[in-house]
């Protein structure tokens, strides 16, 4: 891997130390174990990349089956990230009943062999 590669933090999993924890009354949470600076990279957001049409199909199916815990991140008019079945350490925090908004900067990363 070249030192010029801008995706090294992903490939090397170079993230600040983090911990999933349970809070009474608020559900699962995620915290860092070290201080982080504003705007600093913390972790990648992982999910299944699907089309907007597939998103609509899944929402209809979920409503039909009275499923209420589905989460989508709209990247643009054609692409949506669905995090129900594919995820990482962030997944438990997505499933908490008392979610808070966080700043997400979607990027289409290209990995070269």
Q: pLDDT truncated to tens, each residue of the chain (113 aa)?
A: 566 776 676 677 778 888 888 888 877 778 889 998 887 878 777 788 999 899 889 889 988 999 877 777 888 888 888 877 776 666 544 545 545 455 555 555 444 44
- What's the pLDDT at 30? 81
Structure tokens at 73: 């991140």
Nearest-angstrom CA–CA distance, 27 and 46: 21
CATH-assigned architecture of domain 8-94: Beta Complex (2.170)
Domain coordinates in residue numbering, the chain: 8-94
Which of 88, 80, 84 minimizes the C-alpha distance to 106? Answer: 80
Please give the sequence-ordered ranges of beta strands (E in DSSP) within 1-113, or none if there are none: 18-23, 27-32, 48-51, 72-74, 79-82
- What's the pLDDT at 57? 92
- What's the pLDDT at 37? 86
Question: b/e string for 101-112 if b means 16 or more Cβ within 10 A?
Answer: eeeeeeeeeeee
- What's the pLDDT at 34? 92
- What's the pLDDT at 51? 92
Q: Residue 60 contacts by C-beta under 8 Å, 6 or more apart in sequence?
A: none
- What's the pLDDT at 72? 79
């Amino acid at each position: 891997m070249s030192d010029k590669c801008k995706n090294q933090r992903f490939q090397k999993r170079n993230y600040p130390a983090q911990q999933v924890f349970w809070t009474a009354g608020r559900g699962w949470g995620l915290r860092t174990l070290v201080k982080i600076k504003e705007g600093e990279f913390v972790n990648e957001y992982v999910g299944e990349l699907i089309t907007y049409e597939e998103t609509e199909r899944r929402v209809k199916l979920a409503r039909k089956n009275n499923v209420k815990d589905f989460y989508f991140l709209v990247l643009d008019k054609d692409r949506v990230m669905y995090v129900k079945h594919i995820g990482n350490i962030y997944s438990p925090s997505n499933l908490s009943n008392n979610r808070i908004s966080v700043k997400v900067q979607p990027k289409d990363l290209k990995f070269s062999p």
